[in-house]
Amino acid sequence: TIYPDSEEASVAVARDIATLIRNRAAEGRMCVLGLATGSTPTRMYEELVRLHQEEGLSFQNVISFNLDEYYPMQPNSLQSYVRFMHEYLFDHIDIRPENVHIPDGTVRQEEVAEFCRHYEEQIRAAGGIDIQILGIGRTGHIGFNEPGSGAASRTRLITLDHITRTDAASDFYGEENVPRRAITMGVGTILEAHSIVLLAWGEGKAAVVKRMVEGEMTDSVPATYLQKHPEVSVILDDAAAAEL
């Protein structure tokens, strides 16, 4: 779906999420959201906060799983995804703290594999992800699944691509401060979500959006594996859709 601008698109996606949460609540069921960080979903989170504050949308029946986190990373660091999620969403809504899951950037290296296995188990125990929100990196990454990530990859520790570290440099006051690794849900983990909504805004994403939508499925552009999924929405503004 192509919107004239990201504002309208973000509001529309937030409303769809709100509808699912409310429908589930009416059935007395939990709603499991897969959440993303980065600049792309911030306006959508703002709208979800507004729906909570002004229209009584409750998140008491929501369980969330975030895609990724830098490694190593302290949760109270300026750049942590824990901090990001609290700042943009969790601190302003009524989600239960025990229902929030974000990969832990403080786990000891020898325990990362076990942590990742447990993260996947928690997703399964929650009944799987109902809606997975995604952004896309210039390398074609979803989550932090950099080029080389296969369709069957699972939650794991990965090495960040040089381009991704360049793109993150300003957040870290210089590329040399950007962590070299991250914990991310795998492509296979993401593909198990019942539905997927990928958002991309601006001309800087136009080339990778074209490769994702029209290119052949390949490990070198992990986002192309979304083509395999039966229920994916790609939500774009005009600029991100320019090369389609």
Residues that bind ligand GLP (CB under 6 A): 36-40, 67-68, 135-137, 143-144, 164
- Shortest distance in whole angstroms from residue 198 CB to ligand GLP: 9
- Shortest distance in whole angstroms from residue 28 CB to ligand GLP: 32
SS (H, E, C) 114-153: HHHHHHHHHHHHCCCCCEEEECCCCCCCECCECCCCCCCC
3-state DSSP call for residue 5?
A: coil
Considering only CA atoms, which of 165, 135, 123 is closest in space to residue 36? 135
CA–CA gap between residue 237 and residue 1 (Å, rounded): 8
3-state DSSP call for residue 189?
A: helix
Nearer to ligand GLP, 61 or 66 (CB): 66
List residues bridging with 221 in a β-sheet. Answer: 218
Residue 58 amino acid letter: S
Nearer to ligand GLP, 34 or 61 (CB): 34
Nearer to ligand GLP, 30 or 163 (CB): 163
- Shortest distance in whole angstroms from residue 68 CB to ligand GLP: 5
Distances (CA, A) of 97 to 11, 100, 126, 220: 25, 5, 15, 37
- Shortest distance in whole angstroms from residue 111 CB to ligand GLP: 22
> Is 114 one of the annotated active-site residues of the chain?
no
Nearer to ligand GLP, 61 or 141 (CB): 141
Give residue number: closest CB to ligand GLP: 135
Which is catalytic among the residues 146, 175, 216, 231? 146
Provide the annotated active-site residues.
146
